[in-house]
Structure 1
Amino acid sequence: MLTQDQILTILKETNVLQTGHFNLTSGKHSGQYMQCAQVLQYPDKASQLCNEFVEYIKNQNLQVDLVIGPATGGIILAFETARILGTKTMFAERENGKMVFRRGFFVEPGQKVFVVEDVITTGGSVKEVVEIVKEQGGEVVGVGVLVNRSPQEVDFGAPLISLLKINIETYDPAQCPLCAQGVEMKKPGSRGLK
């Protein structure tokens, strides 16, 4: 298992931590952003990180039939985690603002599912995926995230493994000091503009 320092080193080496003025998917603002897609450019590094999920699954004796990631941050992570496990993978994506399974993807009743995501702040996308899995009769046995930047505990109704827990200050837009200073805004992420 990698240590927190080793994981942080991988993320720093691959330019995951961005600085500026960011409008997050959650609607909050921040002076820092974890752009986890940066590390996914390097298959060897992505594989190292996904192997941490697999080690957790094995150590917890979890049965996993399917690994699912929300688009776009979870797609590569779900694929690589499933490849290492030797199981099936798929992804959920937004349609009309709601997370859904498309492209013929579905969860079979009784399937044991592990959900992976690159970064969570509120955990909203993961919660949506968990709900879809439940609606289709599957059971979420665990959730794995590369970076957990949530200021409070997030309950997914299943055990959570965060490879890195980091506290990055966020602001409500009305109280954002970066807005007050007129710092140019970027809207990163899967629903972003830049």
Structure 2
Amino acid sequence: MTEDEVLAEFRACDALLSGHFLLSSGRHSANYLQCARLLMNPERAGRIAFAMVQAMPRELRARIDKVVSPAMGGIIIGHEVGRALGRDALFLERPTGTFEFRRGFSLEPGDQVLMVEDVVTTGLSSREAMAAVAAAGGEVIALASIVDRSGGEAAFDVPFYPLVALNFPTYGEGEVPADLAAMPVTKPGSRAA
């Protein structure tokens, strides 16, 4: 799936939004990718997941024991990637602010894990989720996401396979341009900044 095809999928379901958004990372942006809308159609979610799997080397895919994703945004795409790989898909939650496995989910010692995200902005959530996998006895061997909007800034200790890289500018609290600051702020994500 090409970058244009991925963006066409976002546009087809009105999931590429414009306005003033406060991202989960705490940064501001004039653009927001509403992956929940992208993934609300099971056929579209399956196409996106299949494309993500195909973007990874075959040797890597063969090593994956489990797929893990952080709640909330990663649950659907993680599940669909698990389906495409024929592997179990688990998710992490933050009931007290720190990622952990719940609902009877667990890893076997040494499980080789593919971490799956919807969007990576700073990489902080991904790194926190990877630390939770390590604490549970697993080894994250790669990270995959639908979108990398970090501008190449997010760094990981494992290979990173985004389906598409978009460089929408983001701004810290004191850096927001006047025209953007004049607009009402929307916080569309599932996590408090």
Superposed pair shares fold, TM > 0.5: yes
SS in 2 for 1:109: coil
Instruction: Give the gaps of 5 or more residues in structure 2.
Output: none
TM-superposed deviation, 1:32: 1.0
| Alpha-carbon separation, structure 1, partners of 2:88 and 2:23 | 31
* Contact 1:130–1:156 (Cα < 8 Å) also in 2: no
Q: Which residue number in structure 2 is paired with residue 121 of structure 1?
A: 121
Q: Which residue number in structure 2 is paired with residue 25 of structure 1?
A: 24
Q: Which residue number in structure 2 is paired with residue 4 of structure 1?
A: 3
Deviations 1:59-82 (A, max 9, x none): 344311100111111101111111
Q: Measured at CA, do residues 22 and 178 of structure 1 come closer, stay the same or move farther in structure 2, by a change above 3 Å?
A: farther
Q: Measured at CA, do residues 181 and 23 of structure 1 come closer, stay the same or move farther in structure 2, by a change above 3 Å?
A: closer
* Contact 1:31–1:178 (Cα < 8 Å) also in 2: no
What amino acid is aligned across from residue 41 of structure 1 in structure 2? M
What amino acid is aligned across from residue 16 of structure 1 in structure 2? A
Alignment of structure 1 residues 170-181 onto 2, 5 Å: 170-178=170-178, 181=181
Matched, 1:43 2:28: no
Alignment of structure 1 residues 9-158 onto 2, 5 Å: 9-57=8-56, 59-62=58-61, 63-158=63-158
| Alpha-carbon separation, structure 1, partners of 2:108 and 2:89 | 13
| Alpha-carbon separation, structure 2, partners of 1:114 and 1:178 | 41
* Contact 1:77–1:116 (Cα < 8 Å) also in 2: yes
SS in 1 for 2:55: helix
TM-superposed deviation, 1:101: 1.3
What amino acid is aligned across from residue 85 of structure 2 in structure 1? L
With normalisation by structure 2, the TM-score equals 0.92
| Alpha-carbon separation, structure 2, partners of 1:113 and 1:50 | 16
| Alpha-carbon separation, structure 1, partners of 2:28 and 2:57 | 37
Q: Measured at CA, do residues 180 and 16 of structure 1 come closer, stay the same or move farther in structure 2, by a change above 3 Å?
A: closer
TM-superposed deviation, 1:54: 2.2
What amino acid is aligned across from residue 147 of structure 1 in structure 2? V
* Contact 1:71–1:93 (Cα < 8 Å) also in 2: yes
| Alpha-carbon separation, structure 1, partners of 2:175 and 2:136 | 41
Deviations 1:31-90 (A, max 9, x none): 111111111111111101100222234534431110011111110111111112221111
TM-superposed deviation, 1:157: 1.4
TM-superposed deviation, 1:151: 2.4
Q: Measured at CA, do residues 64 and 179 of structure 1 come closer, stay the same or move farther in structure 2, by a change above 3 Å?
A: same
